[in-house]
Structure 1
Amino acid sequence: MTDAPTAEQSALDAAQPDPGVVIGEDGLPRPAWASVDPLLRDYYDTEWGMPVRDEQGMYERISLEAFQAGLSWATILRKRPAFRAAFDGFAPDVVAGYGDSDVERLLADPGIVRNSAKIRAAITNAQATIRLRDKGGLADFVWSFQPDVTPEPVTFDQIPTRSPESEALSKALRTEGFAFVGPTTMFALMEAIGIIDTHLIGSHRRGSSGVWPK
């Protein structure tokens, strides 16, 4: 037999438009992960899930998603200014020319994630990005894997972590010479850049990308 809910819990439940979102001090419903930390809240409100359709922006997102593997996104977000400074703004033409001295420089930079394999993957992926220009460019290539439908999660546990499209994108990018682009990482990328909309149904950001209806 379960305990009866407290008056405080009942009031909290009644204040929520659905069980998947949390009402912020500003009265706006967000998922729990974006409801406390001001940095994550601002990222969620202004950037996450909005379309990225330019080459440099796409390359940066792929790079940061790769660095995030095994870490929290909050860690990467806090280090993003340092990443941008260290990687010359994630300009593919510049990063593609990095050599061993640049790898050593990056490994000595305390402002970024100092992982040799991920650093070298960023260089490899810059070179692959340049090669993809002959096939229409990185941004169009990634967007070509947009599915016909998007998830409609009410609660966080209803959000998938991969999909047939993210698996296909992962395979295609690897064929083009990219590294650290596994299907789970690519699903996170697709969420972050608006290819799919996994904002919870009750969130004030649902449908805000203009790519998918609410």
Structure 2
Amino acid sequence: MSDIVIGEDGLARPPWAATDPLLREYYDTEWGMPVRDERGVFERLSLEAFQSGLSWATILRKRPAFRSAFAEFDPDVVATFGEDDVERLMSDAGIVRNRRKIEATITNAAATLALRDEGGLAELVWSFRPATTSEPKTLTEIPTTSPESVALSRALKGRGFRFVGPTTMHALMEALGIVDTHLVDSHRRGSSGIWD
């Protein structure tokens, strides 16, 4: 049994990426592809934090507004945001207006800058790549946490990051290609070049 849906284009995808054109495009071209640059990892970490408790489709639809509001997720700029910026962001209907998540993004930008002395955010996050990845046939077989996401969460919290719980960090690892949780029958399985 598999949870795969075959699209009109003949490609196999999970149900969440099978109908909505925006989610399908994201699944086909971005999700699970390796991201190793600081800004790219910081953006995805930030968006995963904002997604907590919400649907990914909501975040993806708001991503252009998030990028504009947060200076294209340039951590050097976001780290300088002050209370006026928080108020500006709280009045921006284009993004998720959650004060704690906005403040966490600013805090995380400063923590990202501090990590440069240790090799940087991307290097730290990728250092938690496991030796193996799951091979789910159904959605229920896809893990939501792992020992590595728990350890990554702990490491980031220890360096001052916020909204980086184990489930959020597992989602980040999936998005960055650190783990491959594409269903085994998906046309994207193994496409990252990281896992066979």
TM-score class normalised by the smaller sequence: over 0.9
Query: 1:98 matched to which residue of 2?
Result: 81
Report the Cα distance in structure 2 between the residues aligned to 1:115 and 1:20, rounded to whole angstroms. Answer: 34
Matches within 5 A, 1:32-47: 32-47=15-30
Does residue 124 (structure 1) correspond to residue 107 (structure 2)? The answer is yes
Q: Which of 54, 75, 78 matches 2:58?
A: 75
Structure 2 length-normalised TM: 0.99
Runs of 4+ in structure 1 off by over 3 angstroms are none
**Residue deviations 1:53-79 (CA, integer Å, cap 9, x gap):** 000000000000000000000000000
- Residue 20 of structure 1 deviates from its aligned partner by 1.9
SS of the equivalent of 1:48 reads coil
Does residue 145 (structure 1) correspond to residue 128 (structure 2)? The answer is yes
Query: 1:14 matched to which residue of 2?
Result: none
Query: 2:161 matched to which residue of 1?
Result: 178
Equivalent AA in structure 2 for residue 188 of structure 1: A
Report the Cα distance in structure 2 between the residues aligned to 1:70 and 1:142, rounded to whole angstroms. Answer: 22
Structure 1 length-normalised TM: 0.91
Equivalent AA in structure 2 for residue 68 of structure 1: Q
Query: 1:197 matched to which residue of 2?
Result: 180
What is the alpha-carbon root mean square deviation over aligned residues? 0.5
Report the Cα distance in structure 2 between the residues aligned to 1:50 and 1:59, rounded to whole angstroms. Answer: 15
Report the Cα distance in structure 2 between the residues aligned to 1:115 and 1:23, rounded to whole angstroms. Answer: 37
Equivalent AA in structure 1 for residue 153 of structure 2: S
**Residue deviations 1:120-179 (CA, integer Å, cap 9, x gap):** 000000000000000000000000000000000001100010000000000000001000
Gaps of 5+ in 1: 1-17
Equivalent AA in structure 2 for residue 189 of structure 1: L
Report the Cα distance in structure 2 between the residues aligned to 1:212 and 1:20, rounded to whole angstroms. Answer: 21
Choose 1 or 2 for highest CA Rg. 1
How many pairs align?
196
Report the Cα distance in structure 2 between the residues aligned to 1:135 and 1:19, rounded to whole angstroms. Answer: 43
Equivalent AA in structure 1 for residue 62 of structure 2: K
Q: Which of 25, 31, 38 matches 2:8?
A: 25
- Residue 100 of structure 1 deviates from its aligned partner by 0.3
**Residue deviations 1:91-116 (CA, integer Å, cap 9, x gap):** 00000000000000000000000000
Gaps of 5+ in 2: none
